[in-house]
């Protein structure tokens, strides 16, 4: 049994789980990825251009197979062979591993974009269902088209349309025309987020309360207020 001391003395090769989980999506076979790891192991130990013979021994395969796998890694642009001159002017070759990380970053962005597209489609589908729930009936083809125009042509965010629907429901106005006016009003005021909608609603509420207070004060009758303190002074 290997001792812990010998195990730690052998060193370690650090790989991100992101690479381990996605190497197949980068187009690598299992053997190609094992070779990439072998080369990366030597790189981390300070040997940037190891002898492929030792790697063939590690992988228990013929050296010509190692050359074939290496060519595949280069063709798939997950590793490059570079060269540079040292201080003595001697040119040394080395393996550059940065390409695989660039491809991994691009893969991540692609996966994120796909996730966002799926979430967006689900959000749009949920929006149509919300309209039918609030209206208490199935939407007509024209209504489907009208909502689709808000999304596709007017570029309204589905969340903003949902808030406009909520605004209409609170005012018991089950009409796409009403919702359209709400959306246009918000667009003119450059309102695009839920926070901005809430701030606008608070502003309108304050304005309405201010108007009601002013109206109430105007409606009060003119009553002459009696100063009871002055009367007490006159009687003394």
pLDDT at residue 141 in the model: 96
Q: Give residue 226's pLDDT.
A: 36
Q: Cα separation of 136 and 181, whole Å?
A: 21
Listed in sequence order, the residues at least 6 apart from 231 whose beta carbon sits closer than 8 Å to its beta carbon are none
* In the predicted structure, residue 216 carries a pLDDT above the cut 90: no
* Region of 185 on the Ramachandran plot (φ > 0 left; ψ -120 to 50 alpha; else beta): alpha
Model pLDDT for residues 35-94, shown as the tens digit of each residue: 999 999 999 999 999 999 999 999 999 999 999 999 999 999 999 999 999 888 899 999
Between CA 40 and CA 48 the distance in angstroms is 8
| Greater pLDDT, 13 or 214 | 13
Return the structure tokens found at 199: 């701030």
pLDDT at 219: 60
pLDDT at residue 232, as a whole number: 45
- What pLDDT is recorded for position 221? 56
Residue whose tokens read 């650090």: 14
Q: Which of 7-16, 19-28, 63-72, 157-166 has the lowest mean pLDDT?
A: 7-16
Q: What is the mean pLDDT of residues 115-138?
A: 96
What is the arithmetic mean of pLDDT over 158-167? 95
Helix, strand, coil shares, percent, the chain, to 5: 65, 5, 30
Q: What are phi and psi of 76, to 5 degrees?
A: -85, 0
- In this predicted structure, the answer to whether residue 155 has a pLDDT above a threshold of 80 is yes
State which fold the 13-96 domain adopts.
Arc Repressor Mutant, subunit A (1.10.10)
Q: Do domains 13-96 and 115-202 have the same CATH topology?
A: yes
Query: Which of 156, 168, 90 is CA-nearest to residue 124?
Result: 156
Owner of token pair 């589905």? 158
Average pLDDT over residues 211-219: 66
Give 115-202's CATH code, choosing from 3.20.20.450, 1.10.10.630, 3.40.50.150, 1.10.3720.10. Answer: 1.10.10.630
Using the predicted structure, report yes or no on whether residue 203 has a pLDDT greater than 70.
yes
Please give the pLDDT value at position 228. Answer: 34
The confidence band for 224, taking pLDDT boundaries of 50, 70 and 90, is very low
CB burial readout 35-73, b (16+ within 10 A) else e: bbbbbbbbbeeeebeeebeebbeebebeeeebeebbebb
Query: What is the domain partition of the chain in residue ranges?
Result: 13-96, 115-202
- Counting Cα atoms < 13 Å in the Cβ hemisphere of 225 gives 2
Q: Which residues pair with 94 in a beta bridge?
A: 82
pLDDT value of residue 142: 95
- pLDDT of residue 16 exceeding 80, the answer is yes
Strands (E), the chain: 80-85, 91-96
């Amino acid at each position: 049994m290997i001792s812990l001391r010998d195990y730690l003395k052998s060193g370690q090769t650090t790989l991100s789980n992101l690479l381990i989980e996605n190497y197949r999506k980068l187009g690598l076979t299992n053997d190609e990825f094992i070779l990439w790891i072998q080369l990366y192991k030597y790189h981390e130990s300070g040997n940037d251009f190891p002898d492929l013979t030792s790697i063939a021994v590690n992988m228990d395969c013929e050296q010509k197979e190692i050359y074939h796998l290496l060519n595949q890694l280069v063709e798939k642009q997950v590793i490059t062979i570079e060269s540079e001159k040292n201080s003595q002017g001697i040119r040394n070759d080395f393996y550059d591993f940065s390409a695989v990380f660039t491809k991994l970053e691009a893969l991540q962005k692609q996966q994120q974009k796909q996730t966002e597209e799926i979430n967006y489609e689900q959000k749009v589908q949920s929006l149509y269902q919300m309209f039918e729930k609030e209206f208490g009936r199935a939407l007509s083809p024209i209504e489907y088209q009208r909502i689709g125009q808000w999304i596709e042509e007017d570029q309204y965010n589905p969340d903003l349309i949902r808030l406009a629907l909520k605004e209409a429901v609170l005012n018991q106005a089950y009409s796409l025309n009403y919702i359209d006016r709400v959306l246009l009003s918000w667009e003119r005021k450059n309102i695009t987020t839920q926070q901005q909608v809430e701030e606008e609603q608070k502003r309108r509420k304050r304005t309405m309360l201010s108007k009601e207070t002013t109206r109430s004060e105007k409606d009060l009758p003119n009553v002459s207020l009696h100063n009871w303190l002055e009367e007490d002074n006159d009687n003394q």
